[in-house]
A = this chain, B = another copy of it.
Amino acid sequence: MSEHIVSSYDNDLQGLRRRISEMGGIAEKMLVDAIAALLRGDLPLAQTVIASDSRLDILQREIEESAILTIARRQPLAVDLRETISAIRVSGDVERIGDLAKNIAKRALAIGGQLQPQKIAAGVQHMSDLVLAQLKDVLDAYAQQDTVKAVDVWRRDGAIDALYTSVFRELLTYMMEDPRNISFCTHLLFCAKNIERIGDHTTNIAETVHYLVTGENLAIDRPKNDRSIDATVGAGA
């Protein structure tokens, strides 16, 4: 390869990294703001979150197109090829994280600032704090190509699943106590589920970082602590 081609290729990669970093920043902010909007009943903030999502969609399209163009023009091999493929995968996960945060913001609008029991709000906040830390860490792991940090994120997801199960159980109890709680608790059930799924996307990104650095896939089965499916039955029995 001539120096000119190498440098064009580096420019391509830097463009991909820069856009993914921008996507990560937007997704983090959307999650923080969506949870704040939900728990404080801040409707203008919820609107802001919803409006931010289109930028993520545009960036994801740009990353995909640019990665495909890079593969077609530069025909990268080995780690360079993996980096291009990884950019496509990571941008897909971050875009989905934005969708899930947007859905939380929509539900914040729907609930419209209705007060929630402090215990449930605390559980949702705690879930969201854990997931946000995962998201920051995995985006750092991606930027630094740090597979140790990525595997750490991948293992920590179990704690979020366990917390989700406990929030889920409390919400069901609360719905059974008073039918007037059913409507907004249903929104909170889906919000909690969305946060748990954002956690799953951070583990996907962790798997991509591992693949990018090592060329190997992590084991397909990750230990899961999500017992919410059984919990529902327990609570209803």
A positions within 8 Å CB-CB of B: 54, 57-58, 61, 68, 71-72, 75, 77-78, 81-82, 85, 88, 92, 103, 106-107, 110-112, 172, 175-176, 179-180, 182-184, 186-187, 189-190, 193, 217, 220, 229-230, 232-233, 235-237
**Most interface-central of A111, A172, A189, A229 (chain B CB within 10 A):** A229
Is A71 a contact partner of B81 (Cβ separation < 8 A)? Answer: yes
CB neighbours of A233 from chain B (8 A):
110-112, 183
| 8 Å CB contact of A187 from B106, B111, B220, B232 | B232
A54 to B107, CA, bound (A): 34
**Most interface-central of A82, A110, A186 (chain B CB within 10 A):** A186
| 15 intermolecular pairs with C-beta atoms under 8 Å apart | A61-B217, A61-B220, A68-B82, A71-B81, A72-B77, A72-B81, A92-B92, A110-B230, A112-B233, A172-B182, A172-B183, A175-B182, A182-B182, A183-B232, A187-B232
